[in-house]
A = this chain, B = another copy of it.
């Protein structure tokens, strides 16, 4: 079949050298013939079919020849027959954020334990697709189900259940909530926020700022809601600032925060070293703001954190003397910054592994919806505060206040 190809290549020297063996992979039938039994027997033996037993001698012989022929079941043929590929697709928004790395690792690990392979797809950064646009992976039988960590918080109406229409596509939303209930695997964001707030409240802080990604991102939204509730309950003032989940974004948000309540816009041009810092949110319509200025910045992502620290530094604010900082994203590098940054470490690997379990449950149960309803899962693994040097009590003498 590939004769023309081969022919065009054979007109070469060394025509008698041991030609790169073109022998194709060993098949079930090769073993069957070698052993002198039928393929179905080989199949049963190799798959450890518990139903019936085989004569110990054939059993032995089959395994032996399989091993010596280096037999590998053809995943394609098997999948075609079994109607199951043994692959999961994991759709990730922006590979650059380290949280996905950890999450991925947990997922990969667990999937392989359960006999699945994971194919990772990166959502094109420029135009985020709705989750339904990954249906094709299942419809084309490339994967049995979808792990969705797409960037946008999916409005209930927009994509409402279209993922499970027609051919029901097994899927779970990872670290996000999808439009329909019952397919979400998330962490305890409120718990993380509470840990953080309790920590700084205990130190005497009375006003905190939360700098996080766009509120269209579900995690961000959940953190914001939790923060509002918790701070209200503890009588702590909260200022929320949304910005891109980038260094730039963190920088810009911090600028906004620092210039809050400062009606003179004549502040020196605090710009990021070699970038422009576009202001993404509509101008703060409640400015000038007379609330107590925050003495703590909680930052939603590592990337933003770099921008926040830089902006604080540029404004001449010392951390933690003038401003405490906490990252909601743990990373090894935090320990090595000029001011080592305290963070909340989330159970990311557990999230990844739980998501895989949840997805496999949906795949293997066959019929979706209804009874035995898998339901949403919230990772119960405890998060922890990684104490470093970016948090202290509020600036001396003015608990909860900070001078200009």
Could you tell me if B87 and A104 are in contact, using CB atoms closer than 8 angstroms?
A: no
- Residues on A lying within 8 angstroms of B by beta carbon are 2, 5-6, 8-12, 20-25, 70, 72-77, 79-80, 85, 87, 95-96, 98, 101, 104-105, 108, 117-122, 136-137, 139-142, 164-168, 246-248, 251, 272-275, 303, 306-307, 309-310, 313, 332-333, 335-338, 340, 365-372, 388-389
Cross-interface CB contact of A366 among B6, B85, B140, B164, cutoff 8 Å? B6
B2, B79, B140, B370: the one within 8 Å of A9 (CB): B370
* A336-B307, A367-B5 known; A140 vs B274 contact (CB < 8 Å): no
B9 and A371 form a contact (CB under 8 A): yes
Q: Which residue of B is nearest A77, CB measured?
A: B80
Chain B residue contacts of A21, Cβ below 8 A = 165-166, 168
Considering only CB atoms, which chain B residue lies closest to A365 in the complex? B5
Residues of B within 8 A of A121 (CB): 108, 117
Which 8 residue pairs of A and B lie closest in terms of their CB atoms, listed nearest first? A119-B119, A306-B336, A310-B336, A72-B139, A338-B338, A120-B120, A9-B371, A2-B366
Quick one: closest B residue to A122, CB to CB? B108
Are the CB atoms of A9 and B142 closer together than 8 Å? Answer: no
Other contacts beyond A9-B367, A306-B333: 9, CB < 8 A:
A70-B166, A75-B141, A117-B119, A120-B120, A247-B335, A274-B340, A310-B337, A313-B338, A338-B338
Partner of A75, one of B73, B142, B247: B142
Is B367 a contact of A141 with CB atoms below 8 Å? Answer: no
* Cα of A24 to Cα of B169 in the assembled complex, Å: 11
Decide if B388 touches A273 in the complex (CB within 8 Å): yes
**Complexed CA–CA distance, A365 and B20 (Å):** 14
Which of A22, A75, A313 has the most chain B CB atoms closer than 10 A to its own CB? Answer: A75
Complex interface: chain B residues within 8 A of A166 (CB): 21, 23, 70
Is B87's CB under 8 angstroms from A119's CB?
Answer: yes
